[in-house]
Amino acid sequence: MTIGSINLDHQVCVDILPRRGETVISRSLNQGVGGKGANQAVAAARAGARSALIGFIGDDAQSRGILERLQVLGVDVSGVIAVAGVPSGSALVVREVSGENFIVVNSGANAAGDLPLSELENAIVRAEVVVVQGELPPEVTGLVIDTAGRLGTRVVVNLAPVTSIGGAIRWADPLVVNEVEAAQLLDTVETDGVELAKQLRERVRSVVVTLGARGAVYTEGADVLHVPAPRVDDIVDTTGAGDATVGVLAAHLARGESLGRAVEHAVRAGSASVRFAGAAEGYPSFAEVVL
């Protein structure tokens, strides 16, 4: 089960990302389901998991359309809460033809909803794994993590973007961050993924540090192990690659696989995702990924 953000992405493709103050003409404009929570829930479903999503949307026709698209993608959205008088979250994704991008997010309903504790407990206790990110308010994210820890449900914490969740971070199993996010959490200039994972291991139950095209490292007891990523020459879009990694990781953990084996699947999925445009609605079947 994923608890997190739900957005409508507006994606434009340009030849070169604009510089400060520069105007460029786009090649195309597309809309699609986005938000880290939605992306990760879809990725888990595309990996063959039974995937449910809890989050917040607006109460207008466009928001209902987002839910319909998520259902088509195999996600149970019965736990999504409509917030009156607030639009759904949205994101502007500017993608360069090389695959690089930048993203600006308007939180909308993601920052305005409330999760009743009793309903949250009922949902968490039925889940094999709970996945959270950093796009909901930190007090909501912290409550989810603490509740999962108290109820004995494994929680995957993708702290992206980095936000302060206090002592709740101790329940992360694993904490999933990239090298930049790991350095921010540790307030350090260290850039080596292995060293960052070693330091973060003192705070949480297990750690995965993603390394982009170099794969990922993860902790196993006192060791930090590396999983290389397959080479991808036909990169189309890097949007949502990290979310594909997290969603597939959670799907394999929910099946009872080891963290190392789950990371292997996740790294391959993240690499496969960059060969397709868009995030959730562009993901291939991760149950069939061969690179």
List the chain domain ranges: 2-20+29-284
Model pLDDT, residue 206: 98
Task: Report domain 2-20+29-284's class.
Answer: alpha beta
Q: Is the pLDDT of residue 41 over 80?
A: yes
pLDDT band at 289 (very low <50, low <70, confident <90, very high): low
DSSP per-residue string spanning 93-110: EEEETTS-EEEEEE-GGG
Alpha-carbon separation of residue 225 from 51, 107, 210 (angstroms) = 28, 36, 12
pLDDT band at 31 (very low <50, low <70, confident <90, very high): confident
pLDDT band at 121 (very low <50, low <70, confident <90, very high): very high
Model pLDDT, residue 135: 95
3-state secondary structure of 134: coil
Judging by beta carbons within 10 Å of its beta carbon (0-12, 13-18, 19+), is residue 154 exposed, middle or buried?
buried
3-state secondary structure of 279: coil
Q: Two tokens at 164?
A: 């302060």
High-pLDDT (> 90) share of the chain, %: 81
**Cα–Cα dist 27/22, whole Å:** 16
pLDDT digits (tens, 9 = 90+) for 211-266: 999 999 999 998 999 999 999 988 888 889 999 999 999 999 999 999 999 999 99
Residue 38 known to bind ligand: yes
60 given a catalytic annotation: no
- Is residue 218 within 8 A of residue 197, CB to CB? The reply is yes
pLDDT band at 32 (very low <50, low <70, confident <90, very high): confident
Which member of 146, 187, 192, 243 is catalytic?
Answer: 243
- Mean pLDDT over all residues of the chain? 94
pLDDT digits (tens, 9 = 90+) for 75-103: 999 999 999 999 999 989 898 888 788 88
Q: Is the pLDDT of residue 290 over 80?
A: no
Residue 113 known to bind ligand: no
Model pLDDT, residue 97: 85
Residue 141 known to bind ligand: no
> pTM for the full model?
0.92
Q: What phi and psi values does residue 60 have, to the nearest 5 degrees?
A: -105, 175
* Burial 16-27, CB ≥16 within 10 A → b, else e: eeeeeeeeeeee
Residue 198 known to bind ligand: no
Q: Put residue 240 in one of left, alpha, beta given phi > 0 → left and psi -120 to 50 → alpha.
A: left
